[in-house]
């Protein structure tokens, strides 16, 4: 390189190092990885690719070797026509600052392909490069300029800006409210999408200026719900639904899905989320719930009236049985009366239950057993219960009631006959579930079934009712007995059969 000033290469490099530090650039040893073959070896990203010195008139008087290499110039003499104050990279204001002894920083885009087409230079790289200039007066009555290739930074910034613009467009056209609110050092709305104006009547600018508004307009009954933002809450994927007052005074329901951001100490610093107006959904749900409540009430009233009507019929049968002298007729009337009351008790349980779709089988069995025992048991017959929680469809409850009526009546009337001197005994009633099956068992420790039981039941209306209803529910009924040791009847209804009928 030809030196045209008294300053040597070492002094130029020293001043360049000072200027590099002042500009905040890394030293050559701290530079990041090379840009690649397009930039040429020895031209690391983030480091200076050229150090140029100009006299006070702006004429180029010296340049380092990498300047020549980068531009593809054979010697400094080929750059002798360069003048700092003719450079298009500097504005008139920046040129004036230099003349006043103030340093300047500038950026310019250089089209190396165009330079090559004009035959001016044979640069080592191609395409458009973005160069940053830092120029400052020196103590040697000259200007020192450093040039850095910032193409990667510029392109990365443009890509980042393009992505941010895409996300901004998505956020600003989204029908939901998208927001970011910081808590530290003070409450501040960093971003809220324009949908807030359509949904709540407030412009983003109004909320930016008064961030406390987001707290003040929460419905008083929903303030406690904000505990979901507690530092101990799940920081990601939380959902909370609250009422918020619109600008016109109307309350709307907003469903927030948010992520709570925390610092290294675990303290909440911000929340990012999406708020959706679910007012119409909530209103529809409340209307449906009200409709269901009204229908439940109506069904309960129907069950209540059916129960009363059945009780009336049962009472009429009881009165009729008292007026007949024929014991066979009286027994038939009383049996019918108990069957009707068994059905009536189903409607009573449905009337008193919280839901009308299913019946608590254990509660119903206890009620029916107690009522039948009071009418048929001797004073020495006791009842034992083993009632698990089990529910059955309301449409099957009548079937269960009629079957139980027959089995319990049979036990109370025949297991402890008067001929045995009012033999004391126990009737045991079991309700349980096992592997999806509902099981009801009625057993006693009485005299047992007669030897010809199977022949008798062929002509028994009661047992025919039991068998028919069991088959209709897709179940099976089994019995066992030993003389003098009692009898046991067990009804099993499989869940699959029950679900199919339901």
Cis peptide before 390 (omega within 30 of 0): no
Residues in the chain where the model's pLDDT stays below 70: 1-48, 120-121, 140, 227-237, 294, 297-304, 347-357, 378-379, 418-423, 495-502
Q: Among residues 336, 352, 368, which one ends one of the domains?
A: 352
The reply to whether 367 and 488 lie within a common domain is yes
Rounded to 5 degrees, what are φ and ψ at 252?
-125, 160
pLDDT tens digits, residue range 392-428? 887 787 788 888 888 888 888 888 876 455 567 889 9
**106 near 89, Cβ under 8 Å?**
yes
DSSP-based three-state secondary structure for 171 = helix
Task: Write out pLDDT tens, residues 188-216.
Answer: 999 999 999 999 999 999 999 999 888 88
- Whether 345 and 375 map to the same domain: the answer is no
Contact 12, 6 (CB under 8 A): no
Nearest-Å Rg of the Cα atoms of the chain is 48
Instruction: Supply the CATH number for residue 445's domain.
Output: 3.30.565.10
Convert 457-485 to b/e letters by CB count within 10 Å (16 or more is b). beeeebbebbeebbeebebebebebeeee
Q: Report pLDDT digits (tens) over 51-69.
A: 888 888 999 888 888 887 7
Within this chain, do residues 371 and 348 fall inside the same structural domain, yes or no?
Answer: no
Is residue 45 domain-shared with residue 137, that is, in the same domain? yes
The verdict on residue 169 lying in a domain is: no
Residues 83, 121, single domain; the answer is yes
Q: Is residue 108 part of a domain?
A: yes
Residues 6+ apart with CB under 8 A from 7: 53, 62, 140, 142
CA distance 326 to 255: 74
367 and 499, same domain (yes or no) = yes
If asked whether residues 385 and 340 sit together in one domain, one would say no
So what's the pLDDT on residue 233? 53
Q: Which domain holds residue 221?
A: 174-277
| Strand, coil or helix: 128 | strand
Q: Is 162 domain-assigned?
A: no
Does 119 lie in the same domain as 17? yes
In a domain, 164, yes or no: no
Judge whether 1 lies within some domain: no
Supply the CATH number for residue 104's domain: 3.30.450.20
Show the tokens assigned to 95.
């040129």
Whether 283 is in a domain gets the answer: no
Phi, psi (rounded to 5 degrees) for 427: -110, 130
Phi then psi for residue 233, to 5 deg, are -75, 160
Does residue 63 form part of some domain?
A: yes
- Both 24 and 55 in one domain: the answer is yes
**Same domain as 336, residue 269:** no
Q: Tell me how far apart the alpha carbons of residues 195 and 190 are, in angstroms, rounded to a whole number.
A: 15
pLDDT at 129: 87
Distances (CA, A) of 244 to 175, 187, 216, 223, 285: 17, 18, 9, 10, 18
Among 156, 182, 209, residue at a domain's last position = 156
Same domain, 16 and 152: yes
Q: Of 327, 352, 377, which residue is a domain's last?
A: 352
Q: Please tell me the total count of domains within the chain.
A: 4
Half-sphere exposure of 373 (CA within 13 A, CB side): 17
Query: Has residue 115 been placed in a domain?
Result: yes
Residue 353's SS3 state is coil
Question: What one-character-per-residue DSSP string does 40-84 give?
Answer: -TT-BTTSEEEEEEEETTSBEEEE-HHHHHHHT-S-GGGGTT-BG
In the sheet that holds 238-245, the strands lie side by side as 188-192, 177-182, 268-277, 251-262, 238-245
Residue pair 152/171 in contact (Cβ under 8 Å)? The answer is no
CB 255 within 8 A of CB 279: no
* Same structural domain, 428 and 455: yes
């Amino acid at each position: 390189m030809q030196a045209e000033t008294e300053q040597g290469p070492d002094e130029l490099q020293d001043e360049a190092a000072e200027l590099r530090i002042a500009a905040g650039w890394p030293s050559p040893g701290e530079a990041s990885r090379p840009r690649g073959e397009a930039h040429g070896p020895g031209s690391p990203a983030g480091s200076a690719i050229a150090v140029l010195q100009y006299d006070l008139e702006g004429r180029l008087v010296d340049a380092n070797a990498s300047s020549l290499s980068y531009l593809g110039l054979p010697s400094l003499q080929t750059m002798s026509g360069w003048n700092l104050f003719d450079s298009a990279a500097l504005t008139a204001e920046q040129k004036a600052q230099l003349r006043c002894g103030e340093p300047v920083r500038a950026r310019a885009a250089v089209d190396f392909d165009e330079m090559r087409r004009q035959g001016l230079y044979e640069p080592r790289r191609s395409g458009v490069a973005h160069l940053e200039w830092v120029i400052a007066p020196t103590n040697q009555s000259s200007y020192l300029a450093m040039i850095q290739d910032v193409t990667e930074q510029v392109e990365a910034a443009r890509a980042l800006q393009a992505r941010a613009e895409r996300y901004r467009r998505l956020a600003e056209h989204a029908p939901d409210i998208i927001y970011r609110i910081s808590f530290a050092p003070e409450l501040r709305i960093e971003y809220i999408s324009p949908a807030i104006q359509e949904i709540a009547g407030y412009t983003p600018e109004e909320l930016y200026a008064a961030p406390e508004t987001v707290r003040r307009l929460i419905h008083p009954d929903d303030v406690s719900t904000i505990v979901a933002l507690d530092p101990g809450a799940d920081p990601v994927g939380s959902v909370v639904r609250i009422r918020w007052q619109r600008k016109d005074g109307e309350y709307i329901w907003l469903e927030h899905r948010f992520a709570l951001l925390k610092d290294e100490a675990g303290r909440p610093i911000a929340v990012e989320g999406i708020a959706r107006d679910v007012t119409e959904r909530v209103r529809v749900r409340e209307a449906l719930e009200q409709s269901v409540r009204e229908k439940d009430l109506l069904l309960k009233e129907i069950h209540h009236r059916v129960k009363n009507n059945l009780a009336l019929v049962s009472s009429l049968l009881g009165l009729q049985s008292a007026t007949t002298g024929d014991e066979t007729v009286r027994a038939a009337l009383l049996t019918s009366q108990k069957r009707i009351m068994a059905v009536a008790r189903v409607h009573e349980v449905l009337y008193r239950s919280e839901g009308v779709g299913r019946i608590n089988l254990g509660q119903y069995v206890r009620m029916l057993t107690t009522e039948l025992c009071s009418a048929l048991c001797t004073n020495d017959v006791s009842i034992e219960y083993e009632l698990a929680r089990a529910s059955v469809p309301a449409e099957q409850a009548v079937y269960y009631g009629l079957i139980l009526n027959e089995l319990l009546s049979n036990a109370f009337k025949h297991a402890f006959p008067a001929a045995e001197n009012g033999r004391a005994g126990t009737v045991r009633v079991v309700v349980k579930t096992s592997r999806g099956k509902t099981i009801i068992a009625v057993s006693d420790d009485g005299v047992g079934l007669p030897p010809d039981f199977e022949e008798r039941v062929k002509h028994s209306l009661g047992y025919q009712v039991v068998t028919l209803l069991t088959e209709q529910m897709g179940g099976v009924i089994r019995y066992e007995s030993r003389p003098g040791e009692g009898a046991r009847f067990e009804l099993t209804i499989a869940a699959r059969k029950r679900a199919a009928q339901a």
